[in-house]
Amino acid sequence: MVAGEASGDLLASLLIQGLRERWPQAQGNGIGGPRMAALGFDAWWSHERLAVRGYVEVLRHYRGIVAIRAQLQQRLLATPPDVFIGVDAPDFNLALEAQLKSAGIPTVHFVCPSVWAWRPERIEKIRRSVDHMLCIFPFEPQLLASAGIEATYVGHPIASTIAMQPDRHAARAQLGLDQERPVVALLPGSRRSEIEHMTPRFIRAAQLMQQRQPHLQFVLPAVPSLLSAIEAQVQSQGGLAGLQIVVGQSHAVLAACDVTLIASGTATLEAALFKRPMVIAYHMNWISWQIMKRQKLQPWVGLPNILCQDFVVPEFLQDDCTPEALAQATLDWLKRPDRVDDLQDRFEQLHLSLQRDTAQLSTHALEKVLAA
């Protein structure tokens, strides 16, 4: 297996649990994170080595990433596994899967690349690389079938781990937050490049919010390996009085908050499953942005908006991603409880559509691949 970042580590760990039930003696190795390791996965490299987003950012790490892929490919070809599962990280995994598939190793990819939103030309690469795709969104298998790609809708595994009605009171007690004062969650991302671009903007936005509403509480969940980088970014902006930075615990933070200011990515879907209003933001290297915006197929970037096919939550990207705009949009949610109620109804329907027994469905699909 190869999982390329924190979200991939979470998805892969949920899948591993199902595989262990079906094949108790199964052994897994490759690239992964701490959640996978806790389940006995042997990570030859850490998932953090692949956690890079943006064209320019990838170029800076290109040589190291390609070297890891070459070493991994050589190792897998020398000792072929029964099946290779690439978990997200399509730019890394699809090329690797193509080589393994051509050598007769069954390849499964978990999480269909968003060819319906970005870079549709990848569908041909998927067809060459993947024996079977495990899809987390219900509309994807039909799209892939039209290109001759076998696929199974397995639901989104995170949808089954998040309660339909999260317990805000218990989450605040767990984090030591005041039950009566509004809580704003700051989620600047799980990649180092995101921390560099997003944290300063989020902290300045929070400072503006605090000036206007001094009773607000702010909490920021940090990926353990990026804690020091986040703390340094916070200090570079003069700090934020009363900010609580917690290690991990992003789900507790989302359950506890009234609204979240959040970087575009998988976490936005998690926020939607927690039924929390949000403001989606993203900023990256200018060259990366120029390339990416030309490849966008839909008017939305945030997953909740894409899945709802509407701007149900605001998005502020690149030049629009200013502290003032982020602060105002976040405070607007706190002023409109009726708007929050409507949003929660939309998110509840989304949650129901994504809830499936992902581990069991994935295991059945793998059995078919192995049998073939």
Q: Mean per-residue pLDDT for 190-210? A: 92
CATH of 2-155+356-371, one of 3.40.50.300, 2.20.25.10, 3.40.50.2000, 3.80.10.10: 3.40.50.2000
Give residue limits of the domains in the chain: 2-155+356-371, 168-354
Edge-to-edge strand list for the sheet holding 42-46: 42-46, 29-32, 2-3, 84-87, 107-110, 132-135, 151-153
Tell me which of 82 and 139 has the higher pLDDT.
Answer: 82
- Average predicted confidence (pLDDT) for the chain: 90
Q: Mean per-residue pLDDT for 269-282? A: 96
Count CB-CB contacts under 10 A for residue 40: 12
Please write the tens of the pLDDT for every residue from 356-370.
Answer: 999 899 999 999 999
What span, in angstroms and rounded, lies between the C-alpha atoms of 285 and 291? 10
Res. 294: pLDDT tops 90: no
The fraction of the chain above a pLDDT of 90, given in percent, is 70
Res. 32: pLDDT tops 90: yes
Name 233's Cβ contacts closer than 8 Å, sequence gap at least 6.
Answer: 195, 196, 199, 200, 203
What span, in angstroms and rounded, lies between the C-alpha atoms of 88 and 303? 15
Please write the tens of the pLDDT for every residue from 125-136.
Answer: 999 999 999 999
* The pLDDT of residue 3: 92
What span, in angstroms and rounded, lies between the C-alpha atoms of 192 and 155? 29
Is the domain spanning 168-354 CATH 3.40.50.2000? The answer is: yes
* The pLDDT of residue 266: 85
**DSSP per-residue letters across 79-97:** S--S-EEEES-HHHHHHHH
What span, in angstroms and rounded, lies between the C-alpha atoms of 53 and 342? 33
